[in-house]
């Protein structure tokens, strides 16, 4: 599976995220018409990403957001109760999306090696498709309440567990070498994160997502595969 196939198969867009946010937060969003709400939420999220990419969330003022979206301050406050809550809403949504997708790709395979490949690639491809969401989640996690930050840690541990479980199962099946699978899972996550944290580097070096994902897998397999399996 390469990135283009992933994109077609997954077939979700920023617009879908905005719709989900609207449906899940009707309690706090004062706008009632779905169509209006979704269009404007989309505009708001895009503006947040564009502004915070260089300044960070704290440095983004509501006036910045008003200017970038073309909406007035008063209008913005009809879409979320306050600046902090907007951050919380966005973080929660991003977490739900990652959780759902990885579970889906993990369950689609049986063989441990195929499962590992599917999950590692899915995470990288997903982070490419929703790059602003991933970057934002990582960089702004600190600004959440401690409960919100715990949720971020929890999803980090969850995705780590998905990987280490695959490694453990693979060891039992004599496909992977024994070792500290938790630490290996952490290393895999570190490499995956690199893709959306330092995107400027890969743009500059002209490395594509597919090349990047392939290299991560090469390293992981080079290290994890049991000697007898190295020519599978």
Q: Note whether 159 and 137 are within 8 A (CB).
A: no
C-alpha distance from residue 167 to each of 102, 121, 161, 225, 232 (Å):
16, 15, 10, 10, 17
Could you say which DSSP state residue 207 is in? Answer: -
Q: Where are the alpha helices (DSSP H) in 56-207?
A: 62-69, 73-76, 83-107, 112-129, 131-140, 146-172, 181-197, 199-204
CB of 58 to its own copies, least distance (A): 4
Check binding of 64 to its own copies (CB under 8 A). Answer: no
Rounded to a whole number of angstroms, the minimum distance from the CB of residue 227 to its own copies is 10
From residue 133, alpha-carbon distances to 54, 138, 231 in Å are 14, 9, 38
In the complex, the smallest distance separating the C-beta of residue 124 from DNA, rounded to whole angstroms, is 33
103 binds its own copies (CB under 8 A): no
Contact between 148 and DNA (CB under 7 A)?
no
Considering the complex, state which of residue 88 and residue 216 has its C-beta at the smaller distance from its own copies.
216
Does position 2 interact with its own copies (CB under 8 A)? The reply is no
> Cα separation of 149 and 143, whole Å?
8
SS3 176: strand
* Stretch of residues binding its own copies (CB under 8 A), selected from 9-17, 86-94, 135-143, 165-173: 135-143
Q: Which stretch binds DNA (CB under 7 A): 71-79, 148-156, 208-216, 219-227?
A: 71-79
For its own copies, which residue of 27, 54, 147, 203 counts as binding (CB under 8 A)?
Answer: 54
Q: Which two tokens stand for residue 156?
A: 């980090």
Which residues of the chain form contacts with DNA (CB under 7 A)? 30-33, 36-37, 40, 60-64, 70-75, 77-78, 81-84
Which residues of the chain form contacts with its own copies (CB under 8 A)? 53-56, 58-59, 139, 142-143, 153, 156-157, 179-180, 182-184, 186-187, 189-191, 193-194, 198, 200-202, 205, 207, 211-212, 215-216, 218-219, 222-223
């Amino acid at each position: 599976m390469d990135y283009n196939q992933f994109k077609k198969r997954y077939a979700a867009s920023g617009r879908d995220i905005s719709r989900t946010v609207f449906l899940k937060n009707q309690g706090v969003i004062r706008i009632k018409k779905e169509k209006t709400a979704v269009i404007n939420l989309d505009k708001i999220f895009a503006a947040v990403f564009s502004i915070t990419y260089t300044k960070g969330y704290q440095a983004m003022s509501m006036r910045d957001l008003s200017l970038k979206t073309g909406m007035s301050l008063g209008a913005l406050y009809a879409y979320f109760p306050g600046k902090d809550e907007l951050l919380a809403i966005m973080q929660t949504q991003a977490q739900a999306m990652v959780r759902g997708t990885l579970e889906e790709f993990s369950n689609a395979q049986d063989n441990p090696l195929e499962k590992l490949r599917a999950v590692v690639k899915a995470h990288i491809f997903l982070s490419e498709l929703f790059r602003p969401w991933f970057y934002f989640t990582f960089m702004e996690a600190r600004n959440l309440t401690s409960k919100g930050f715990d949720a971020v840690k929890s999803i980090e541990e969850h995705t780590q567990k998905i990987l280490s479980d695959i490694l453990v199962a693979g060891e039992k099946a004599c496909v992977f070498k024994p070792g500290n699978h938790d630490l290996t899972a952490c290393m895999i996550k570190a490499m995956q994160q690199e893709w959306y944290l330092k995107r400027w580097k890969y743009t500059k070096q002209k490395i594509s997502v597919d090349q990047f994902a392939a290299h991560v897998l090469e390293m992981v397999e080079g290290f994890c595969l049991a000697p007898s399996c190295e020519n599978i």
